[in-house]
């Protein structure tokens, strides 16, 4: 503890020189290895550096090994698998597979069910992302500027669906969506609407999943919007109000431009998540009825289940490519005007 | 709606926003309350339904409060379907995964943020790149790997692939970057070894980041369902979501009371954890932007 004060410049030790004396030891200013005390020779500093490197690697090794085995290797392996005809029975003899080039990719792209799944996924993303974002932004605006009391309770309640298990949620929602007798159609009945057979009707199954996904995910986006809204200074709003801007104009011309980075972030993360939509159809509809809720991720999983590992890998890379493209486009569109 | 509010702030439509933002608008409370009820209703209905009998659950129109509340569903769940075992599996996997992430991710996060070493940049770029790769890409090879290692249907097979996460490293590195570097020099002057500095000086300061990472990891593991679904093949390896998913599509798929009780058992523990840590949790979400 004695030498401590010298380096940190803390004024506690009366014997040590004040912070101003620090420049007197020029090696204290050097970026690395300075902490070993000025008395060391340059050779001593070299070993300190080596020691630092060694320590860093000791700290890094456990992560790196696990990461190599369970993330990096599978990524590479998946790329290799996608150009082979690997099937489940090849598991034990990995050298018996044949390299078939891009056959898996062309096979996937010409498969009518895969195309249907791609269209369904697009539907889910194009409707689901705006719906989720609008709900989230509305809730965030209301909680940020509209009300002053009970904020925490509303925030907590809106966030609750996010933390719950999709499997458990599905049990409840399948029940709520029942026709007849489900809670949702009962409530719709009160206002004179006869609700559809949500999960049994190919036209309504996807909307049902989209509503459920929006319900489950808008809380995350809301929290991030709330954080973004903190950065919008109240004075700007007041100034605009004095200038005669109404609430909508203030939102449009003050809040929205300042929220653009947050918007980009939320949109990108939500889109990435929704492009991979898998759990909702898996637990709610198994892709049915009539493949109306078959998504690309779910179809990929099915191919994996059938043992078509090569084909499934190719499909997963197609998803990855689409995600990369969509993300790039969103960055372009939203960044341009900032 | 706006017609109703007009008399409350007559004569000053321009400064209305400023004035009303102090007290809040009553109709906003109404809308928000309706929305809150709509969002929370499924949970309330689930918990209430788990105490109902089969007959009452099939009633049209549905009831809210159970006519004759009973714990039958729960006793059946734990006696007949060994949900106690599934619960234990879920806890064990989630705790091991959480500890693994806290330890390994903070170690590398510290090395990346504060230390200088060969290969640092390479590791960082590699880890960050995989952050963007969707889980479905690694799924098949991961399964092949775990199968070849003979870990299918074992607890290690359930947790080993998740012991580290690129996201965890990112989170810890960003946090540790914000700590003063003087701490290191101070520790070195004191003669503390590099690892000791990490353990004794840096880690105790990482409380907020560790809490965020811990909660997010535990939650993710508890709710994780696709991986355990394919790896856990015998009943005594099931985690709660796996058991619930299989029962809700299998032989018990029409036993609604049982399923609602199962759903409650999956959701309520995590809700309790969430309510205890919610402040830190929401701060974490806001700063990291990930769930």
Cβ–Cβ of B225/A165 closer than 8 Å?
A: yes
Cβ–Cβ of B17/A66 closer than 8 Å?
A: no
Whole-angstrom Cα distance, residue A215 to residue A158? 9
Chain A neighbors of B216, CB-CB under 8 A: none
CB A268 within 8 A of CB A133: no
- What band does B289 get if pLDDT is binned at 50, 70 and 90? low
First to last CA, chain B: 36
Find, in chain A, the residue whose alpha carbon is nearest to that of B123: A64
pLDDT at B231 over 60: yes
Q: Over the stretch B164-222, which tens digit does the pLDDT of each residue have?
A: 998 899 888 888 888 888 888 888 888 888 888 899 888 988 888 888 888 889 989 99
Domain B77-288 fold: MetI-like fold (1.10.3720)
Q: How many Å lie between the alpha carbon of B185 and the closest alpha carbon of chain A?
A: 4
Tell me the H-state helices in chain B. Answer: 2-5, 16-23, 26-49, 54-57, 72-79, 83-114, 120-130, 135-148, 155-159, 166-177, 182-189, 194-196, 207-223, 226-231, 240-249, 256-288
Cβ–Cβ of B61/A181 closer than 8 Å?
A: yes
Q: How many Å lie between the alpha carbon of B23 and the closest alpha carbon of chain A?
A: 6
More confident residue, A297 or B71: A297
pLDDT at residue B5, as a whole number: 37
Size of interface A-B (CB pairs under 8 A): 325
Q: Which domains does chain A have, with CATH numbers?
A: 104-335 (1.10.3720.10)
pLDDT at residue A19, as a whole number: 39
Out of B18, B24, B103, closest to residue A148 by CB: B24
Q: What are the sequence ranges of the domains in chain B?
A: 2-75, 77-288
Q: How many Å lie between the alpha carbon of A320 and the closest alpha carbon of chain B?
A: 6
Chain A neighbors of B96, CB-CB under 8 A: none
Which stretch of DSSP H or E encloses residue A105?
Answer: helix A103-110
Out of B104, B270, B278, closest to residue A156 by CB: B278
Q: Over the stretch B242-275, which tens digit does the pLDDT of each residue have?
A: 988 888 777 666 778 888 898 999 998 888 888 8
Cβ–Cβ of A71/B139 closer than 8 Å?
A: no
The structure tokens listed for B44 are: 């309330």
Chain A neighbors of B140, CB-CB under 8 A: 74, 78, 81, 304, 309, 312-313, 316
The structure tokens listed for B68 are: 């004759």
Whole-angstrom Cα distance, residue B83 to residue B91? 12
Q: How many Å lie between the alpha carbon of A159 and the closest alpha carbon of chain B?
A: 9
pLDDT at B3 over 70: no
Give Cβ neighbours of residue A329 (< 8 Å, ≥ 6 apart). none
pLDDT at residue B20, as a whole number: 44
Cβ–Cβ of A276/B134 closer than 8 Å?
A: yes
Find, in chain A, the residue whose alpha carbon is nearest to that of B56: A181
Chain A neighbors of B41, CB-CB under 8 A: 183
Whole-angstrom Cα distance, residue A79 to residue A322? 16
pLDDT at B71 over 60: yes
Chain A neighbors of B182, CB-CB under 8 A: 7-8
Cβ–Cβ of A71/B130 closer than 8 Å?
A: yes
Chain A neighbors of B23, CB-CB under 8 A: 148
pLDDT at residue A29, as a whole number: 40
- What band does B286 get if pLDDT is binned at 50, 70 and 90? low
Out of A37, A57, A276, closest to residue B136 by CB: A276
Out of A62, A186, A237, closest to residue B62 by CB: A186
pLDDT at B106 over 90: yes
Q: How many Å lie between the alpha carbon of A337 and the closest alpha carbon of chain B?
A: 23
Whole-angstrom Cα distance, residue A297 to residue A275? 8
Whole-angstrom Cα distance, residue A164 to residue B222? 9
Residue whose entry in the numeric block shows the structure tokens 């599996």: B89
Q: How many Å lie between the alpha carbon of B55 and the closest alpha carbon of chain A?
A: 13
Residue whose entry in the numeric block shows the structure tokens 């300042």: A258
Ordered per-residue pLDDT tens for chain A, 338 residues: 333 333 333 333 333 333 333 333 444 444 444 444 444 444 555 687 888 888 899 999 999 999 999 999 999 888 888 998 888 877 767 667 788 888 889 998 999 999 999 999 999 999 999 999 999 999 999 988 778 788 888 988 998 898 888 888 888 898 888 877 788 888 888 888 888 889 888 999 999 999 999 999 999 899 889 888 887 888 888 888 888 888 888 888 888 888 888 888 888 889 988 999 988 898 888 887 899 999 999 999 999 888 888 999 999 999 999 988 988 888 888 765 54
Q: What angle do CA A66, A167, B251 make, to 5 degrees?
A: 115
Is the peptide bond between A213 and the residue preceding it cis, with omega within 30 degrees of 0?
A: no
Is the peptide bond between A191 and the residue preceding it cis, with omega within 30 degrees of 0?
A: no
pLDDT at residue A16, as a whole number: 36
Find, in chain B, the residue whose alpha carbon is nearest to that of A70: B161
Find, in chain A, the residue whose alpha carbon is nearest to that of B23: A148
CB A142 within 8 A of CB B32: yes
The structure tokens listed for A293 are: 């809720």
Cβ–Cβ of B219/A163 closer than 8 Å?
A: yes
Whole-angstrom Cα distance, residue B240 to residue B87? 6
pLDDT at residue A60, as a whole number: 92
Cβ–Cβ of A63/B245 closer than 8 Å?
A: no
Find, in chain B, the residue whose alpha carbon is nearest to that of A304: B140
Chain B neighbors of A242, CB-CB under 8 A: 14-15
More confident residue, A99 or B85: B85
Q: How many Å lie between the alpha carbon of A316 and the closest alpha carbon of chain B?
A: 5
| Residue A250: closest CA among A176, A130, A141 | A141
Whole-angstrom Cα distance, residue A252 to residue A161? 29
Out of B22, B58, B244, closest to residue A171 by CB: B244
Q: Over the stretch B14-41, which tens digit does the pLDDT of each residue have?
A: 434 444 444 557 888 889 999 999 899 8
Mean pLDDT of the residues in chain B: 82
Find, in chain B, the residue whose alpha carbon is nearest to that of A216: B39
Environment class of A22 (CB within 10 Å of its CB; exposed 0-12, middle 13-18, buried 19+): middle
Q: How many Å lie between the alpha carbon of A203 and the closest alpha carbon of chain B?
A: 23
Q: Give the bridge partners for A84, in sequence order.
A: A99
Chain A neighbors of B163, CB-CB under 8 A: 66, 70
Q: How many Å lie between the alpha carbon of A18 and the closest alpha carbon of chain B?
A: 16
Cβ–Cβ of B143/A73 closer than 8 Å?
A: no
Q: What's the rounded mean pLDDT across residues B101-128?
A: 91
pLDDT at B285 over 50: yes
Q: What's the rounded mean pLDDT across residues B92-105?
A: 95
Sign of the CA dihedral A107, A110, A116, A121? positive
Chain A neighbors of B263, CB-CB under 8 A: 165, 167-169, 171-172
């Amino acid at each position: 503890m004695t030498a401590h004060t010298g380096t940190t410049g803390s004024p506690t030790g009366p014997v040590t020189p004040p912070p101003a004396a620090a420049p007197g030891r020029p090696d204290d200013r050097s970026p690395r290895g300075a902490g070993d005390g000025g008395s060391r020779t340059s050779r001593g500093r070299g070993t300190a550096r080596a020691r630092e490197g060694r320590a860093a690697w000791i700290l890094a090794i456990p992560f790196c090994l696990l990461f190599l085995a369970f993330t990096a290797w599978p990524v590479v392996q998946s790329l290799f698998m996608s150009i082979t005809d690997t099937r489940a029975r090849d598991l034990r003899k990995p050298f018996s597979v044949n390299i078939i080039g891009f056959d898996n990719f062309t096979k996937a792209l010409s498969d009518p069910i895969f195309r249907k799944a791609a269209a369904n996924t697009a539907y889910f993303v194009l409707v689901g992302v705006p719906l989720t974002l609008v709900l989230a932004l509305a809730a965030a605006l209301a909680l940020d500027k509209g009300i002053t009391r009970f904020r925490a309770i509303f925030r907590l309640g809106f966030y609750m669906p996010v933390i719950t298990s999709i499997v458990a949620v599905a049990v409840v929602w399948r029940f709520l969506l029942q026709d007849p007798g489900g809670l949702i159609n009962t409530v719709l009945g009160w206002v004179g609407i006869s609700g559809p057979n949500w999960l049994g009707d190919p036209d309504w199954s996807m909307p049902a999943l989209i509503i459920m996904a929006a319900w489950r995910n808008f809380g995350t986006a809301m929290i991030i919007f709330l954080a973004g809204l903190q950065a919008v200074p109240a004075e700007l709003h007041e100034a605009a109000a004095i200038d005669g801007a109404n609430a909508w104009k203030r939102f449009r011309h003050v809040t929205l431009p300042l929220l653009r980075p947050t918007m980009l972030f939320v949109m990108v993360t939500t889109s990435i998540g929704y492009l991979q939509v898998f759990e909702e159809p898996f637990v709610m509809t198994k892709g049915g009825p009539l493949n109306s809720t078959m998504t690309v991720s779910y179809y990929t999983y099915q191919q994996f289940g059938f043992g078509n590992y090569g084909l499934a890998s190719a499909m997963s890379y197609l998803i990855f490519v689409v995600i990369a493209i969509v993300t790039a486009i969103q960055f372009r569109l939203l960044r341009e005007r900032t | 709606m706006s017609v109703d509010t007009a008399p409350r702030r007559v004569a000053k439509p321009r400064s209305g926003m400023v004035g009303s933002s102090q007290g809040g608008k009553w109709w906003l409370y109404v809308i928000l309350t309706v929305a809150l009820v709509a969002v929370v209703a499924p949970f309330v209905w689930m918990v209430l339904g788990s105490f109902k009998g089969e007959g009452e659950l099939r009633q049209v129109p549905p009831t809210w409060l159970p006519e004759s509340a009973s714990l039958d569903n729960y006793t059946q769940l734990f006696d007949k379907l060994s949900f106690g075992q599934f619960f234990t599996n879920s806890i064990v996997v989630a705790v091991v995964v959480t500890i693994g992430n806290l330890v390994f991710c903070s170690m590398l996060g510290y090395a990346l943020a504060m230390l200088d070493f060969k290969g640092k940049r390479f590791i960082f770029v590699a880890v960050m790149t995989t952050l963007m790769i969707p889980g479905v890409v690694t799924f098949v090879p991961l399964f092949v790997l775990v199968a070849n290692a003979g870990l299918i249907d074992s607890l290690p097979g359930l947790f080993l692939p998740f012991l580290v996460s690129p996201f965890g490293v990112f989170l810890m590195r960003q946090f540790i970057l914000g700590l003063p570097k003087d701490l290191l020099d101070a520790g070195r002057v004191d003669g503390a070894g590099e690892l000791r500095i990490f353990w004794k000086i840096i880690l105790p300061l990482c409380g907020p980041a560790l809490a965020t990472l811990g909660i997010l990891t535990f939650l993710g593991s508890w709710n994780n369902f696709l991986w355990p679904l394919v790896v856990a093949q015998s009943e005594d390896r099931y985690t709660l979501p796996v058991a619930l998913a299989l029962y809700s599509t299998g032989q018990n798929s029409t036993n609604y009371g049982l399923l609602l009780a199962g759903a409650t058992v999956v959701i309520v523990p995590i809700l309790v954890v969430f309510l205890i840590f919610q402040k830190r949790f929401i701060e974490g979400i806001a700063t990291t932007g990930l769930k």
